[in-house]
Amino acid sequence: MDNIVTGTMAIIGSGYMGGGIAQVFALAGTTVLVADVSADIARQGRARLLRDADDFVRAGIFPPDAVALLEEHVVAADSLEAAVADADFVEEAVPEDFALKRETLRRVGAAARGDAIIATNTSAIAITDLASAVPGPERFLGVHFMNPAPFIPGVEVIVHPRTDPATLAATQTLLARAGKVPVAIKDTTGFVVNRLQYALFSEAARVLAEGVATAQDIDNLVRSSFGFRLALFGPFAIADMAGLDVYRAAYGSLQSAYPDRFSPPQVLDDLVQAGDLGVKTGAGFFRLDPAQRDQLVAYRDRAYAALGELIRNLGPSPHMTAAAPTDASESGQ
């Protein structure tokens, strides 16, 4: 698997996600063969991602030589079998349909080399449920890109119980070389990103349905408050900086009002009872010595100021000025 970093990749599915993934790896110098339901659709997909790349260059968000790199490194294959025949790494990126993905992976496994790594770009389907479609499931794992793939750095790399550690290591190396942030996780339905994302969406929808705030107000609050922080820190680091005792007290209020939805997590109770309250005590979900605490606070303040300046320079999103329902009844809730 050592040759995977400089080898050939096949992407099955030339739509928005598959095309974006092809752009990521082609810009890193990898030869990418793109396949779809027909050779004509694959050629159309390649032409579209070249047009998109030209737009991105004009916008200044792709390098000036991006179109030339894609023209050199992206090839529209005549068929799935032709695309994967000599590929070192195959990424399946067909629509989120279990039966379709299993059948696609079966075909990939039958046509690919025995030492090729095979990955699926599923958003929520358990990797273990797909693994049985692949001959040699030890070479199979999930590689979940976020939309839009060229611009979101994080990638979930999901292993099932039979994934070979060498498969995981090679995949992480490939992703890191392409400028991504690969994070290895265990297999579970929804993985990490969508379990967290959909939990937030569910509560936001409840707030909207209750008439507490409009969709626009909720979005504005999220993006300008804790969502602002989330661009730089994860939920555990944010909790440590806020104080875990503060979080525990807030859970008490939330549990009183919404006992069916909020109760303090056991891990939070355990830390508070142990006196590990986060940054102010030097230990919480993370441990920091005094020098690190000072560095963290200084970094946080600089980072928030820089992010605020970036947002001001970009100007408001169209969503901030778009017409929106004023209450849940107008939005069909």
Question: Long-range contact list for 6-9, CB < 8 A, 24+ apart?
Answer: 6/30, 7/31, 7/87, 7/88, 7/89, 8/32, 8/33, 8/86, 8/87, 8/88, 8/89, 9/33, 9/87, 9/88, 9/89, 9/90, 9/91
Q: Which of 73, 144, 160, 319 is catalytic?
A: 144
CA dihedral 209, 212, 214, 216 (to 10 degrees): -120
**How many other CB atoms sit within 10 Å of the CB of residue 121?**
24
> In whole angstroms, what is the distance from residue 33 CA to residue 51 CA?
18
Beta strands across the sheet bearing 154-159: 74-76, 31-35, 8-12, 89-92, 117-120, 140-145, 154-159, 181-186
User: Is position 144 annotated as part of the catalytic site?
Assistant: yes
> In whole angstroms, what is the distance from residue 65 CA to residue 57 CA?
8
Nearest to residue 116, comparing CAs of 73, 93, 83?
83
Q: Are strands 31-35 and 74-76 parallel, antiparallel or unpaired?
A: parallel
Burial state string for 156-195 with b = 16 or more CB within 10 A and e = fewer than 16: bbbbbebbbeebbebbbebbeebebebbbeebeeebebee
Known catalytic residues?
144
